[in-house]
A and B are shown apart, each in its own frame.
Chain A
Amino acid sequence: MRESTIMKIHYGTALAAVVLVAVHVLFRVTMMNYEDSLAYENVLANYKYLPYAIMLELILVLLSVHGFNGLRVILLELKQGRSYEKAVTYGCIAGMAGLIAYGSRTILMASMGIT
């Protein structure tokens, strides 16, 4: 993929994540007080509310893509080389996929009530 396309994805994921993370944080501080919003029953109820669960999944994907691409950019700024660049790129893709898989497992299990 062209680097210009990757940067457009990087910026797109950033802007989308800003909006969704703001909603996620507002859920913690506006619906009830912060302490109560972290109670087991309330957090589980959040996961079981489908639009919220979908939003969490979107945040997970957006931030994983943005975060691991950011890490790739930082590592490529520090050092260059054919095999190094390949290792960094594939390593970041693997990290991103692993994090998305692990986070999706939590969202799926909690939203389906498998606890």
Chain B
Amino acid sequence: MKRNENREGIKGMANPGRYGIERFAYWLMRITGLGLLAYFIGHIYETSNIVNGKTAWENMLSMTQTTEGHVLLTLVIGMCVFHTANGIRVMLGHGGYGVGKPARPDYPYTPASQNNMHKLCIYASIGLAALAMMYGMSVLFGE
């Protein structure tokens, strides 16, 4: 087999089905991070209109306080909550918490670090993000 035939590139790397929920969390962490950075830059630009007077501020609000704007903001809330909760999990993992004790590698070589606690934390992060999005929607669209 040629070297190139087995090369899936970024598609193979992104495939969450092959490597489980940990790989899915890895990608979600990066995608939400980039999304939040883009929103942050947009938010700095949006709020800078306050120095141009009341009319400029209200013009900017009329563009962002729309149904599409609220849907975007709901997504931002979800990204923010997932990024925070999963980030705390990653920090604890890097600090050695919840990754299991070092032991002799025996068959079937199950990695201690990829245990149920971390998997549960990833699912909890996704659940928390969904709850925060629901709360955000109730505030933005009115209860």
Contact = CB atoms under 8 A, between A and B. Distances in A.
A in complex with B: yes
Interface of A: 7, 11, 14-15, 18, 21, 29, 34-35, 38, 40, 43-44, 47, 60, 63-64, 67-68, 70-71, 74, 99, 102-103, 105-106, 109-110, 114-115
Given A40-B50, A43-B50, A115-B50, 16 more contacts: A11-B91, A34-B139, A38-B65, A40-B54, A67-B40, A70-B37, A71-B34, A71-B37, A99-B41, A102-B44, A102-B45, A102-B48, A106-B50, A109-B51, A114-B51, A115-B51
A67 B35 CA distance: 10
Contacts of A71: 33-34, 37
Contacts of B58: 40
B81 to A, nearest CB: 10
Nearest to B44: A103
Given A34-B139, A40-B54, A115-B53, A106 B47 contact: yes
Interface in B43-69: 44-45, 47-48, 50-54, 57-58, 61, 65
Contacts of A60: 44
A98 B51 CA distance: 18
A77 to B, nearest CB: 8
Specify the main secondary structure of chain A where it touches its partner: helix
Contacts of A34: 139-140
A67 B51 contact: no
B44 A106 contact: yes
A43 to B, nearest CB: 6
A54 to B, nearest CB: 16
27 contacts: A7-B94, A11-B91, A15-B91, A18-B84, A29-B139, A34-B139, A43-B57, A64-B40, A67-B36, A67-B40, A70-B33, A71-B33, A71-B37, A74-B30, A74-B34, A99-B44, A102-B44, A102-B45, A102-B48, A105-B48, A105-B51, A106-B44, A106-B47, A106-B50, A114-B51, A115-B50, A115-B52
Contacts of B51: 105-106, 109-110, 114-115
